[in-house]
Structure 1
Amino acid sequence: MLRMLGKMFLKLLLNGVFIIPLLMYLTQATLTEAFFATYTFSLMSYIAIDQLFLRVTNNGVATLADVGLAFVFFWLVEKFFFHWSINFMNVAIIALVFGIIEFFMHSYFQKDRGRLDRHSFSDN
């Protein structure tokens, strides 16, 4: 449990360091808005992609899923919640930076010997 919380904290820290300033630079987001959007997405991504999807796929597929989810999430947050001045290219940049961070995070997560994977419950 502590190992999982440590990984989640590392993910939140890295995303906060890179994505919050990027959102504030590319959009009209305030610190509070960027903080809320980034950490909401990071928690959602950690549960859906890192804990569920990454266990049954590989790093590349999980990273592509993260990039796609990031693009859709930040586009919808901008459209329905915060009304930032953001265009397609800015959302794509944010999603790609998030994907780069996630690629290395997934590599780190997969090196953990105690993790569950698709073969964890087989009788072999």
Structure 2
Amino acid sequence: MLGKFFVKMLLNGVFIVPLLMYVTQATLIEALFGSYAFSIVSYIAIDQLLLRLTGNGVATLVDVVLAFAYFWMLEKFFFHWSFTFTNLAIIAIVFGIIEYFVHIYFQKDKGKIGRTSFDDN
């Protein structure tokens, strides 16, 4: 479970952090905080719960919608990065593409992430 979490954090750090810094005036620390805070929430709520109950498509769609809402609220209330709708949509879609493949990776090992098992055996 911890290895999968680190894979998710690594991928988001490689793709989302530079993208946030490119499309906004975010500093490295702000981009790291924004990306990793959302990754933690997404991992717990979507990857560990929703993905087990539904499928990859639903979990990825929820990831995209949640990413759009999260980064909009983060920009609106905390960092004032001056997102445009297009920039927010691009970040949410890139996050969704990453999550689609992360979900496939998570679902390959049915013993560790199944619909009824929450343990790491």
> Which runs of 5 or more residues in structure 2 are unaligned?
none
Q: Percent identity?
A: 71
Shift of 1:116: 4.1
Structure 1: state its 5+ residue gaps.
Answer: none
CA shift at 1:113, angstroms?
Answer: 2.4
Decide which of 97, 101, 107 is 1:100's aligned counterpart. 97
The equivalent position to 1:56 in structure 2, one of 53, 73, 87, is 53
Structure-to-structure mapping, 1:83-94, within 5 angstroms: 83-94=80-91
Q: Which residue in the other structure is 1:15 paired with?
A: 12
Query: 1:41 — aligned with what?
Result: 38
Tell me, yes or no, if structure 1 residue 72 matches structure 2 residue 69. Answer: yes
Structure 1 segments of 4 or more deviating over 2 A?
115-120
User: Deviation string for 1:38-90 (max 9, x for gaps)?
Assistant: 00000000000000000000000000000000000000000000000111110
Q: Secondary structure at the match of 1:115?
A: coil
- Match for 1:82 among 79, 82, 86? 79
Distance (Å, rounded) in 1 between the aligned partners of 2:47 and 2:114: 11
Asked which structure has the greater CA Rg, the reply is 1
Within 1, Cα distance between the matches of 2:115 and 2:106? 15
- RMSD, aligned α-carbons: 1.3
TM-score (ref. length: structure 1):
0.91
